[in-house]
Structure 1
Amino acid sequence: MPRPRLARTAGAIAPALALALATAGAGAQEPGRPPVAPPASADRAVPAACTAFAWPLLRELAWFEAPGLPRKASGDTLPAEMPAAVLALKPTGEVAYPVPPSRPPAADSYGGILMLEAPPSAGIYQVTLSDEAWLDVSQDGRSGLSPVSHTGKRDCPGLRKSLRFQLGSGRVVIAISGAKSDSIRVAVAPAE
């Protein structure tokens, strides 16, 4: 290997290794989920802001950057074996929210609904978004759940926020509102 390449990548080895381990660990800890390929940009250094969340989100960053991330339309179901997807959003006025958003969205924003099959077991799950948007979660279809904790950073490319919810055994409705573009990446997984 030519020396300049080695010098250029030496600073990215530790973050890339951490990203690879986080991705590999996620597949090993969650039986039934297909292994997730490392992100196409695994040879780049992970910005410091992406490791400064209140809990690790390198697993979600890897999912969001993986080639072939599935696309879902508003109202589609995210199967339990699929940890993340790109959700196509609609103009706010076209979204029929089962539970009104807890924060009124701007008229010129986008939103959508993502259904989640009942979690395999009750517990703390985290819902992570790639971009700025409001997030509401419901399990009874009538009222929103309060998050048990949240973390967010504005300067991490590809990750914006993650909220943790205590989920039971029922179907989950994830409502996105107030987004500035017509798509967003969403990941749902047990808290690490």
Structure 2
Amino acid sequence: MSWSRWTDPRRLIGAAVLLVVLASPAAAEDVTACGKFKWPLATEKSWFDAATDLKAYASGAAVGELADGALTVATKPMAEIAFALPPEGKPKPDKTAGALLAFDKVVKPGRYLVTLSDEAWIDVVQGGAYRPSGEFSGVHGCPGLRKSVQFEFADAPLTLQLSSASAPAIKVAIRKID
């Protein structure tokens, strides 16, 4: 190769831009923060990144059967939501939004991850009672992922309740893990 090919201004500019992006502390922080979850969330991240393909619901919507995948739910003031049971999370004065989704059936009972794109408290109600949460993993500073909680779902209708949120819409991923 000739020297002039290596000194082409377009190549030099491209190389400089690449170095700036790779050396950016913010990009490094994001990658580091995303790696701090207790379990891998690459599947959920890829679902959330395909945001234009996500089905969007209003709070209170009936979703149908619960299946692996992601969706977006619009939040509204918690005072306007008829929760199946009062949220278990302690109310936060600066986070007054929430959402409710009703699933008709859990086709495959078992352990699931419920992952959110933004901060909110997660309650799952089945058979008129809270489903106890299992392990929890939450990270600040990971773009598009905020928390993930494990739940055991039975073969019955299920209500997903989100509370103490501030975002106008939250992406929710649900994935069977056993």
Flag whether TM exceeds 0.5 (same fold).
yes
Q: Distance in 1 between matches of 2:67 and 2:176?
A: 12
Q: Say which of 61, 81, 101 aligns to 1:114.
A: 101
Q: Distance in 1 between matches of 2:122 and 2:91?
A: 11
Secondary structure of 2:106 counterpart: coil
Q: Say which of 144, 155, 172 aligns to 1:169.
A: 155
Q: 1:117 to 1:8 in 2, by over 3 A?
A: farther
Q: Deviations over 1:93-144 (max 9, x none)?
A: 101101110024345610110122422222100111111111100111x221
Secondary structure of 2:34 counterpart: helix
Check if 1:158 corresponds to 2:149. no
Check if 1:74 corresponds to 2:84. no
Q: 1:61 to 1:93 in 2, by over 3 A?
A: same
More strand by share: 2
Q: Which blocks of at least 5 consecutive residues in structure 1 are unaligned?
A: 13-43
Aligned equivalent of 2:126: 139
Check if 1:65 corresponds to 2:62. no
Q: Highest Rg: 1 or 2?
A: 2
Q: Which blocks of at least 5 consecutive residues in structure 2 are unaligned?
A: 1-10
TM-score by length of 2: 0.78
- Residues 72 and 86 in structure 1, CA contact (< 8 A), matched pair in contact too: yes
- Residues 84 and 125 in structure 2, CA contact (< 8 A), matched pair in contact too: no
Aligned equivalent of 2:4: none
Q: Distance in 1 between matches of 2:134 and 2:80?
A: 30
The structural deviation recorded for 1:177 is: 0.4
Q: Distance in 2 between matches of 1:175 and 1:136?
A: 5
> Equivalent residues in 2 for 1:1-192 (5 A)?
4=14, 8=18, 47-66=31-50, 67-78=52-63, 79-81=65-67, 83-106=69-92, 109-140=96-127, 142-191=128-177
TM-score by length of 1: 0.72
The structural deviation recorded for 1:164 is: 0.5
Percent of aligned pairs with the same amino acid: 34
The structural deviation recorded for 1:191 is: 1.9
Residue type at the aligned position of 2:56: R
- Residues 135 and 150 in structure 2, CA contact (< 8 A), matched pair in contact too: yes
Aligned residues: 159
